[in-house]
A and B are shown apart, each in its own frame.
Chain A
Amino acid sequence: MEWLPALVLVHIVGAVLGAGGATFAEINLVRALRDGEISPDESELMKGAYAVLRLGFFLLVLSGFAFLLYFRLMDKTEFLYSPEFWAKLTIIGALSVNAILLQTRKINILWGSAISLTSWYAALILGVLRKMDYPYFATLLVYVISVVVMFFIVRAVHKKFCPPHTTNQKTS
């Protein structure tokens, strides 16, 4: 049985669910904060988006390690030397740390949202565009710039739709 197409499929489904979950988590958050308070219905919607996001993360990490096994067993370890792989691993690491910081309320919600959204879309793009062969640090530089740009976008959206006391809060 050929495992690679199944692994690619699960990996991309994971990235798509994560990127979609992160997008809808942000949309639901902005909608919920519009009137300054989160109702039980809005809270339920957000919980749904976070559940999809977590499922995406789970599939992404699990299929990522399945890839690792596949390449190790097929003696194709050169894949593990690709800068794209390490860039993606770094981004997934940033995503995990960001999730913990958001949950422990140690990060500004706007920065947390910007990191989450950028990381998920970066994982999706890196997963779909295989064998790009861009240097590791160049990829990370583009990622960091994208996080900053995303922060300004998220801040602008919050400023437009949410009351000031909710957008200026330090925590979620």
Chain B
Amino acid sequence: MTPLLVYTLITHVMTGILAIGLVHLVFMHFLKKAPSWKYLQALSGWSVILFLVSWATSAFYYVTYYGKAVKPKIMGGAYPWAHQVFMEAKEHVFVLLPFLTLALWLMIRLLAKEQDEKLKKAAMFVAFITLSLGAFIALSGILISGAVR
């Protein structure tokens, strides 16, 4: 693996984890009686940026290295389902995350301008779904890494 690919993989994992962490903070902050909308806006805005960086770096890694060098190893190993089930699911579900966080950011922007209980509940739900999908994707990443042997 070239140094560029190593740094790409590191960036993909770390920005992804940071983005999930920020969404977790957003969700927890929503549970407060009086959330700070400015703070939530900043957190969700950064999570959009970090998910996009994670998305771009993963795409580069997948196209230039994973498909050629890692996937055949997994498919020929003892755990081909790690690719067939988890990577296939991960690469499709992951597409949603930047858009979900973008929707979350927009909802928070609206909530900052005008209080709306229904919209707040919907935004909380979006944060929860994003967090759950993010956790699933992170766990899938661990399984896929473990299957490379």
Task: State the A residues within 8 Å of B (CB).
Answer: 58, 61-62, 65-66, 68-69, 71-73, 77-78, 80-81, 89, 96, 99-100, 103-104
How many residue pairs, one in A and one in B, have C-beta atoms under 8 Å apart?
45
Contact with A65, one of B13, B27, B28 (Cβ below 8 angstroms): B13
Chain B 130-149 against A: per-residue CB contact (8 Å), 1 yes, 0 no?
A: 00000100100110011011
B10 within 8 A of A: yes
- With beta carbons under 8 angstroms apart, the residue of A58, A77, A104 that contacts B149 is A77
Give chain B residues whose Cβ lies under 8 Å from the Cβ of A66: 14
Distance between Cα atoms of A82 and B148 in the complex (Å) = 15
Provide the bound-state CA to CA distance between A58 and B27, in Å.
15
> Among A73, A96, A99, which residue has its beta carbon within 8 angstroms of that of B9?
A73
* Extra inter-chain contacts (20) besides given A96-B24, A103-B28, CB under 8 Å: A62-B14, A62-B18, A65-B138, A68-B13, A68-B141, A69-B9, A69-B13, A69-B14, A71-B145, A72-B148, A73-B1, A73-B6, A73-B9, A77-B145, A77-B148, A80-B142, A80-B146, A99-B28, A100-B28, A104-B31
**3 A-B pairs closest in CB distance:** A80-B146, A72-B145, A103-B31
CB closest chain-A residue, reference B20: A61
Among residues of A, the one whose C-beta sits closest to the C-beta of B12 is A69
A-B contact pairs, 21 of them (CB 8 A): A58-B21, A61-B17, A61-B21, A62-B21, A65-B13, A68-B141, A68-B142, A69-B13, A69-B14, A72-B9, A72-B148, A73-B6, A73-B9, A77-B148, A78-B149, A80-B142, A80-B145, A89-B142, A99-B28, A103-B31, A104-B31
Cα separation A93 to B1 with both chains bound (whole Å) = 32
Interface size band for B: 20 to 34
Q: Which of B1, B24, B146 contacts A81 (CB 8 A)?
A: B146
> Which residues of A are found within 8 Å of B10, using beta-carbon distances?
69
- Check if B146 sits within 8 Å of A65, measured CB to CB: no
